[in-house]
Amino acid sequence: MQSDSLWIGRPVSRVEDERLIRGQGRFIADMNPVPGIRHAAILRSPHAHAVIRSIDINQALGKRGVVGIFTGEMIARELDPFPVGVSAPIQYYPIARSKVRYVGEPVAVVVAESRYLAEDALSDIIVQYDALPSSMDIETPGTHLDPSVLLHDGVLDNVANHRVFEYGQCGRELQIADVVLTHRFTYPRNTAVPIETYGVIAAYEPGTDYYTVWSNFHGPFTLHSVMAHALKISTHKLRLLSPGDIGGSYGVKSAVYPYAVLMAVVSRLSGCPVKWIEDRLEHMQASSSATARITDVTMGLNSQGKITALKLVQYDDVGAYIRAPEPATLYRTHGNLTGAYDIRNLTVENYAVMTNRVPTGLVRGYGGPQLYFPLERMVDIAARHFGIDPAEMRRRNFIRAGAFPYTTISGGIYDSGNYQAVLDQALETSEYDRFRGQKTAMSSRSIRYGIGMAAVVEPSGSNMGYVSLAFTPDERAKQWPKSGAAAAATVAVDLLGGITVLLDSVPEGQGHETVARQIVADVLTVPMEAVRVIAEMDTATRAWTVSSGSYSSRFASAGSSAIYGAAQKVRDKLLALAAIKLGADVSTLRLREGWIWHDHRKTVWSLKRLAGLIHWNPEELPEGIGAGVYESCYFTLPNVAAPSTDDRINSSAVYGFLVDIVKLAVDIETGHIQLLDYTTVHDAGKLLNPLLAQGQIHGGMAFGIGSALYEEMVYDERGQLLTGSLMDYLVPTAGEMPEHLNLGHHSTPTDSTPLGAKGLGEGNVMAAGAAIANALADALGVEVFNLPLTPQMVFHLVHPPHEKEVDPK
């Protein structure tokens, strides 16, 4: 990277802000990109599991304003099922065909003059169901479930995916370990709750069989081919567009894609462009959610408290279908399953189990909180077993600072880090020792104080190949290998030197336009105002690739690298032209403040003049300099190969690190937890924009605090969702945030990315649950195995409802 960067690394305010604060953002619901749009509403299943006996749409068809009504059978007839990422025979359509498998599953679609009228017609569609018993458990593989609770023909025990991985000698090490600890942990189903819901506008062009679909989809664009496959068309016939403004996602809007396909078909069948804006009830019930996970952890340690072996049995609740990219929650962290620790013996057994709940998918942290809640809790439990401080326990097991790049036993390549230094900084910032010393004295009749931590290796820039770990090596050998963590960007200079950048990263609030401006302005040595960034996505006109989009914190690692690369290509082209014009060696030329400098002298050639020459007078261009200044860069991060035949994979390109330390007070009478302060120290390599980094961390903390204390999608035993409104599904408000947030950075350089940056927006989501649960366990002297830590649950920890449960140590 150039050392004279003016903008990269500075806390630049965002270029996106002005339009958004003024209410001039352009979100999907604001758009009417084609004339004649009609509005869709979806009839959804009230049953978690039932056979559809009949659907009568006749009466509804006669309602005022109705353009058309389409049942699951009518729609699915036009489609192939979506490809799924497992070998189990699961037919997933965007709408139920003959059987519904979760409450809220689409059953029919009404198209009408307005959303009001479309909803009116919904109530006149008569569906007859034969209810079936629901399957809600995920810990029953191998128990030979009754056929009536099997969700899909030919899928035994509702297990969509089962794989066992052995690395090292886990079994033997557990036998000879001095201490073996075993516990079961449950991570709940929670979800992202962006304030903007899903939205799709689909327009079908009959003559050409082209589909144009606008939606707030943000990738991964692997799913473009999944959608085209379902529509039974070649990929170029499906044009996907995403608006430049998307009202948050945190992963969950990747699962808008089934609706994109649904509305595409409905547009074709109804003969008009169709707009569907999901409402909040639909979103809570039927969009997507994080997987819930039960983890059985067995940890072997030697007498010094060194972890010698780790066994994880992970049961993921993936909901009613396995929807791509699931079962990726099980595999995203595969290369970093041993976390921050030097553990050389590992066994992992993975189950993806289907239940009568909404299918799961990406939610901020994806796979991380499910892994780190049990892992980081276990480290604390082990520390308590040995009677040593949790910080010391971690220190004894951390990968040494000199050991990077470090290859984990499951194949992850940790590029850089200094875990001890980050921990030390977090301990110091949080005044850890002082609080530990005082907390007992501080406690009163009903108030107890606790402090807890979590140390998290934060993966970013995921390897496209990791999902294929769901297949056995033999199955993989029959497929094309998949790998890489690529991104694309385009930088164009017009005839008067105006600079436009086109992104493939589809941001939903992360500020990519601002960072792109910083990077391009630095490379081309122009003011940031000279650079315009277009974040709108269009698969027909953008440079993009299979892994494009925003997920797995890939912008700081992959996305920004592609922008940097494209800007360098523009710079190099202009310099090459200048070198010829000046008769100088290109290595003696520099761009400075938008002008070409030769050695230490400013020349008569500016960026604007060079671009002008290229556009206005291409006849004069020397050999080797093509017309136009429009450079795309496809960048892929290094070291992200396809899984090896022995099932090892570097599942992400780079790995940051963070330590969170939480202090809390808990009222043992009322179960109320008050977070006193929250410290987080990150190593995310070089920060491209510290202001935005801070915003990502604050947002991640709030998200993590929500999942730790408030958020859970609760279903009853019949599969009815009990938390279907924002009254019941509790998203933290400003009042629930801790007053004191301490944020620190300790950066170790990495050369895995050209700009030295790693992702950082997800780490706190991965850490918060464990850190807060550890603090609570510290306060109460009782172990914690579930989230969220609701007042009722805390109360029951202190006052067990029945006999006091004995901890099997």
Cα separation, 414 vs 555, in Å, equals 18
Cα distances (angstroms) measured from residue 74 to each of 56, 70, 259: 13, 6, 16
Q: Of the two residues 305 and 511, which places its CB atom closer to other proteins in the complex?
A: 511
Q: Of the two residues 382 and 687, which places its CB atom closer to other proteins in the complex?
A: 687
Contacts of 441 (CB under 8 A, 6+ apart): none
Cα distances (angstroms) measured from residue 592 to each of 4, 525, 547, 585: 10, 6, 34, 17
- Residue 85, number of CB atoms within 10 A of its CB: 22
User: Which residues within the stretch 784-803 sit at the binding site for other proteins (CB under 8 A)?
Assistant: 790-792, 795-796, 801
CB of 795 to other proteins, least distance (A): 5
The answer to the question of residue 534 lying near other proteins (CB under 8 A) is no
- Residue 83, number of CB atoms within 10 A of its CB: 12
178 half-sphere exposure, CB direction, 13 A CA radius: 10
Q: Of the two residues 348 and 709, which places its CB atom closer to other proteins in the complex?
A: 709
The answer to the question of residue 35 lying near other proteins (CB under 8 A) is no
Cα separation, 753 vs 652, in Å, equals 12
CB of 239 to other proteins, least distance (A): 24
The answer to the question of residue 22 lying near other proteins (CB under 8 A) is yes
Candidates 559, 699, 756, 769; binder of other proteins (CB under 8 A) is 699
Tell me the number of residues near other proteins by CB under 8 A.
77
Query: Phi/psi of residue 25, each to 5°?
Result: -65, 155
CB of 727 to other proteins, least distance (A): 6
Cα separation, 47 vs 51, in Å, equals 9
User: Which residues within the stretch 104-143 sit at the binding site for other proteins (CB under 8 A)?
Assistant: 115-116, 119-120, 123
Distance from the first to the final alpha carbon of the chain: 53
Binding to other proteins by CB under 8 A, coded x per residue (else -) over 650-679, reads -------------------xxxx-------
The answer to the question of residue 717 lying near other proteins (CB under 8 A) is no
CB of 449 to other proteins, least distance (A): 19
CB of 80 to other proteins, least distance (A): 32
CB of 705 to other proteins, least distance (A): 8
Q: Of the two residues 565 and 732, which places its CB atom closer to other proteins in the complex?
A: 732
Candidates 280, 306, 590, 615; binder of other proteins (CB under 8 A) is 280
Cα separation, 537 vs 264, in Å, equals 18
Locus of tokens 């109320």: 672
Question: 713 in the Ramachandran plot: left (φ > 0), alpha (ψ -120 to 50) or beta?
Answer: beta
The answer to the question of residue 259 lying near other proteins (CB under 8 A) is no
700 half-sphere exposure, CB direction, 13 A CA radius: 31
Alpha helices in 418-535 (DSSP H): 419-429, 432-442, 473-477, 512-524
Q: Of the two residues 433 and 716, which places its CB atom closer to other proteins in the complex?
A: 716
- Helices 368-386 and 763-780: crossing angle in degrees, nearest 10, is 30
Cα separation, 419 vs 240, in Å, equals 42
The answer to the question of residue 741 lying near other proteins (CB under 8 A) is yes
Candidates 245, 317, 522, 783; binder of other proteins (CB under 8 A) is 245
CB of 442 to other proteins, least distance (A): 20
Chain-centre distance of CA 246, in angstroms? 15
Candidates 35, 36, 54, 64; binder of other proteins (CB under 8 A) is 64
Candidates 52, 160, 174, 246; binder of other proteins (CB under 8 A) is 246
CB of 315 to other proteins, least distance (A): 24
User: Which residues within the stretch 191-210 sit at the binding site for other proteins (CB under 8 A)?
Assistant: 192-197
Candidates 147, 206, 735, 808; binder of other proteins (CB under 8 A) is 735
User: Which residues within the stretch 380-439 sit at the binding site for other proteins (CB under 8 A)?
Assistant: none
Locus of tokens 């997800």: 762
CB of 738 to other proteins, least distance (A): 10
Q: Of the two residues 356 and 723, which places its CB atom closer to other proteins in the complex?
A: 723
Q: Of the two residues 420 and 674, which places its CB atom closer to other proteins in the complex?
A: 674
DSSP assignment, residue 6?
S
Cα distances (angstroms) measured from residue 438 to each of 544, 632, 663, 668: 55, 58, 12, 19
User: Which residues within the stretch 216-235 sit at the binding site for other proteins (CB under 8 A)?
Assistant: none
CB of 18 to other proteins, least distance (A): 7
Residues in the chain: 809
**Residue 483 tokens, joined:** 């790998």
User: Which residues within the stretch 498-517 sit at the binding site for other proteins (CB under 8 A)?
Assistant: 508-511
CB of 220 to other proteins, least distance (A): 19
Q: Of the two residues 510 and 750, which places its CB atom closer to other proteins in the complex?
A: 510
Locus of tokens 């195995």: 785
